[in-house]
Amino acid sequence: MNKLEKKYPLKGFMDTHLHTAPDIQPRLLTDLEAAEAALKEKMRAIVIKSHVEPTSGRAAITQQATGMKVFGGVCLNSNVGGLNVDAVKTAAALGGKIIWLPTISKYMFKESLEDILTIIAENDLILATGHLSVPEIFQVLDLAKSSQVKNIIINHPLTRVVGASLDEQKEMSRTAFLEHCYVACLPRHDQLDPQMIAQAIKEIGPRKCILATDLGQRHNMHPVEGFKLYINTMMEYGVSWKDIKTMCIRNPYQLFF
């Protein structure tokens, strides 16, 4: 075991954003391999995400096969019919936990969104904002409040696709958790300065932030190693171990369990 592993173990941690195979994009590891790696690290749970197909059933099979707690859901891109009420109902019926709004398809507001938010609220699911723009996110947050949705994640607010300012993040944090993903800092992605994430954590507060990897791409490092490097980087920029545990254990547990 190396020094990093000894100092910053992943025991009890959750990675709320993983991309695994099978997929139409090349992935570094399968659902089973991701779960087995997390189990070896004594992590609490992982969340597997696909832009193109539901992962609720895949998560259930992987959990049964490995003994690792695995969550899935559905991303409401055009591949599943967009803002499709039936897709959300099916995800809930299969034990899915998270509903992502569009990521690779254009988001078009539809009346069905209100029905989707009602299903999310009634089934105690988590709403994730996907790749929506800041104005779209605020529109969804207003509707989610009206629909009594309690569990909300703002996905990677600092990336180019979202681009939320600190003031906007503070406003979002009144009703949602901000999920900061390590992949945004890597060379073939946004090349985001990780110090910006550390600054956002200090400004918004760790009790409203989550750290996740968003890894699984074949050209990137293994998610477990990426998670450890992410933690190490945040601590180098002044984020405490106590705050790391809040963002990687307490906050995800509050949402998913």
**Domains and their CATH numbers in the chain:** 3-256 (3.20.20.140)
Contacts of 210 (CB under 8 A, 6+ apart): 16, 153, 177, 178, 179, 180, 247, 248, 251, 252, 255
pLDDT bucket at 7, cuts 50 / 70 / 90:
low
Cα–Cα distance, 90 to 86 (Å, whole number): 6
The whole-number average pLDDT for the span 106-134 is 96
> By mean pLDDT, which of 2-16, 100-114, 158-172, 190-204 is the weakest?
2-16
Contacts of 189 (CB under 8 A, 6+ apart): 183
The whole-number average pLDDT for the span 32-59 is 98
Tokens 């859901």 correspond to 73
Residue 129 pLDDT = 98
What is the end-to-end Cα distance of the chain in Å, rounded?
Answer: 30
* For residue 228, pLDDT beyond 90: yes
